[in-house]
Amino acid sequence: MKVYTLAEYATMDTEPEILFWVGCAGSFDPRAQKITQSLVKILHHAGIKYAVLGNEESCSGDPARRGGNEFIFQMMALQNIETMKMYNVNKIVTACPHCFNTLKNEYPELGGNYDVVHHTQLIQTLLDEGKITINDGAFAGKKIAYHDSCYLGRINDIYESPRKILNKMDATIAEAPRNRKNGFCCGAGGAQVFKEEEESSTETKVNHERVEELLTEKPDIIAANCPYCILMMDDGVKAKGKEDVMVYDISELIVQANDW
């Protein structure tokens, strides 16, 4: 299926309903690219008129700001804001909670005001409106343990959309021992995913501890809503020798359920 850029829409003298902000992970990381592909399939099957920025999309600036480089953050943010102003962007969807938080809560201080939704919020709306469905039987007999990402959950108080989606699946849904406002980080936030590990008084890695918690629920699948959480959960599952437990983004589960 053809994914159009905003520049291509401009040549057709029309505008899409929504900009899909892909993000660095979704663009360049092979694992996260599968999440990008899943969301594209969902948007396509829902009949949503969308576009991406393509080569005109720069990093949102989240890692720079979390890592302490405010100058780089503002430089990236202002460049993105000018690009989106040129295309009259109003609504944005992204599969990355880090991009979601930055675009929604931090760009306004620099003049970038948008209606930003996380992909789980959009998917829930599409399900509620009947624009997409979940085939029965796809996950029959399976147990799915859900992990709250920090930037969607504790930072933006979005807990229900992912759960409402999962509850529409014919699977047993399990909560992690620490969930919602008491959720536990995967270990990638705050630009940590881009840094060497720091010395600690404990030998247990953050993502390994989180995976241990999720594995206590004896799941067949660990579900998350963030490309960095997926990366860290994958690493933790392999470290625990539990490769039979699959780690998926919620968008990937929708695509699997419908065999798209």
Residue 120's SS3 state is: helix
Query: What is the predicted pLDDT for the residue at 233?
Result: 94
Contact by Cβ (8 Å): 164, 158: no
H-state helical runs in the chain: 6-11, 23-28, 30-45, 62-66, 70-86, 97-101, 119-128, 160-166, 206-215, 227-239, 250-258
Q: Which residues of the chain have pLDDT under 50?
A: none
Query: What is the predicted pLDDT for the residue at 70?
Result: 97
Contact by Cβ (8 Å): 122, 39: no
